[in-house]
Structure 1
């Protein structure tokens, strides 16, 4: 019995996976594994839309808005997106991503949301929108 059934009739063209050095549980300064013997490091690839990436980045930025988003290094942006993937289900990020661009119509946060999209476009440039974002 399988939990999910997946059949693919034709290959889907995907951008290359973004490499990472981040290993949840060992890259954190608190080392959450507490010295336990690591049995395996599991790699998970998640295909994400631009809006999902922005929603994940937004979640990881909560409470850190004293930083200039436009000055964050690409590695830090990617690290924060990956942190959200560790904390949130990809299904939740898919749901949140569906409506994330609607925040561009909220005048109280539009500059912040645009900065988050610019950060995503710098960190994941494969299909970045080039204007009006």
Structure 2
């Protein structure tokens, strides 16, 4: 566990970072031109709430509703969350996460949202699930 206190008004105990093997950006040689050279790989750690993770996963699942979320491997769930972080600002995900659980009140998508939360709980088990979700 890491304790973050230099940017917060109160100390916050953070869980250990989840490792990843995926590298976004200029790692795909098809995206490089002859003069391009990867100069560095920058690691970014983002502390995320369960709702932020679910919102990020939901964004990455758009257009993939034919997949059974409950059968996705943990690595794929994490990859999709990281993909959303690559495409969206963590601040936007923080904002979206604050209201994401309200989607559980929409009967037309409640099963999908519950499946997304189950996926997040499998991929990030150190996060404590909310009651009744």
* Matching of residues 66-105 of structure 1 within 5 Å: 66-105=66-105
Q: TM-score, normalised by structure 1?
A: 0.87
Check 1:106–1:10 CA distance in 2 against 1; reply closer, same or farther (3 A cut): closer
Judging by fraction of residues, say which structure has more strand: 2
Secondary structure of 2:12's partner?
Answer: coil
The aligned length equals 127
Cα deviation 1:45-83 (Å, max 9, x = unaligned): 000000000000000000001000000000000000000
Is residue 121 of structure 1 aligned with residue 121 of structure 2?
yes
| Equivalent position of 1:107 in the other structure | 107
Preserved contact between residue 121 and residue 129 of structure 1 (Cα < 8 Å): yes
Distance 2:115 2:122 in 1: 11
The answer for unaligned runs of 5 or more in structure 2 is 1-5
| Equivalent position of 2:48 in the other structure | 48
| Equivalent position of 2:3 in the other structure | none
Preserved contact between residue 53 and residue 97 of structure 1 (Cα < 8 Å): yes
**Deviation of 1:13 (Å):** 1.0
| Equivalent position of 2:19 in the other structure | 19
The answer for unaligned runs of 5 or more in structure 1 is 1-5
Secondary structure of 2:77's partner?
Answer: helix
**Deviation of 1:27 (Å):** 5.8
Q: TM-score, normalised by structure 2?
A: 0.87
| Equivalent position of 2:31 in the other structure | 32
* Matching of residues 58-73 of structure 1 within 5 Å: 58-73=58-73
Check 1:99–1:23 CA distance in 2 against 1; reply closer, same or farther (3 A cut): same
Q: Give the aligned CA root-mean-square deviation in angstroms.
A: 2.0
